[in-house]
Structures are given as structure tokens and as C-alpha cells.
Amino acid sequence: MKKSITVISCCFLLAIVFNSCKKAGSSNDSANFIGRWVGTANVTENGVAVAPGVDTLVFLAGSDNNHVIAQDTGSCSGGTVITFTLNGNSISLPSTNITDGCGNKSTDNATGNLSGGTLTLNIQEIDKEDIPYGSSTGGDTVETVNLTIALSLTKK
């Protein structure tokens, strides 16, 4: 009888130990973001409003449950992969240097929030664009373009 009580006690103790080994602070924030999101994009370029358009973002699972990946395959080889950080219903992208599959470079950052079925995302993007023979001396001109993109998206 003493052996049975000892074995049962050991099993109970092991169950408690293994049950308490879950990662602290780990959540499944990405489950709400993964999928295809479609909606309107309001863009300003160097402070001037551009006609609103339709935009689509597809979020895939990231390296853990607190990250998602947005991948734009576009017309360039390899596309562009950007990793967003999640915290509950908030989404963010710290200032990140991005080179797309066409070789275009930009610096982007973003913040957003998921409320109900709507994802709002505000993106700041700085592009450097070469304008061939754009200067008065006949050489290339580099123009800095500051974009602000306000997205309101729903999951489709």
C-alpha cells in the first residue's frame, strides 16, 4: 500500500510540474491576424493626398504566436517579406529598412489595431527614387518621397 501511495504521489507531482512548464507571457495573438485583409488605402505623398485605392494584405504565421509576416509577391522576383509584431489586438512594425524583389529600397514603420472585424493600419514609408536625367545638369536626381498610408481592412 505504501508503494501505491508513493507512486500516485510521484505521478501527481510530475503532473503539476509539467503543467506549470508553459511559457509565461506566451499568447496566440497571431490567430486573429492571419489571413487575407482587403480594404481602402488613403495615401498622402509628401503631404499631398493621392486618390484613395483598394489594398490587400495577406498575413502568414510568423516565427511565434506574437509575430505575423506580410508577403507581397508583386511582379518582382522573391517579393517582399515584412515581419510585424503583435501584442493582443495591436500590431506594429518598428522602423525597418526594406529592399523589395525589384531592388527598390524604403524605410517603413507601422502601427495598427484590430477592433471587431476591422484592422486599421497606419504606415509611414520613406522612399529614395532615382529620376533619370532629372537635374538641370543632365544627371540623375534622387528624390525623397514620404508616404503616409492609412488602411482600413476587413478579413476576406
Structure pTM? 0.72
Residue 8 forms part of a structural domain: no
- Structural domain total, the chain: 1
Task: Express each pLDDT in 44-67 by its tens digit.
Answer: 999 999 989 998 889 999 989 999
Assess whether pLDDT exceeds 80 at residue 13: no
Give the CATH number, domain containing residue 43.
Answer: 2.40.128
Whether pLDDT at 37 is above 70: yes
Is 35 within a domain?
yes
Q: Give tens-digit pLDDT for 127-136.
A: 877 776 656 6
CB-count burial class (<10 Å; 0-12, 13-18, 19+) for 125 = middle
Domain-embedded: residue 122: yes
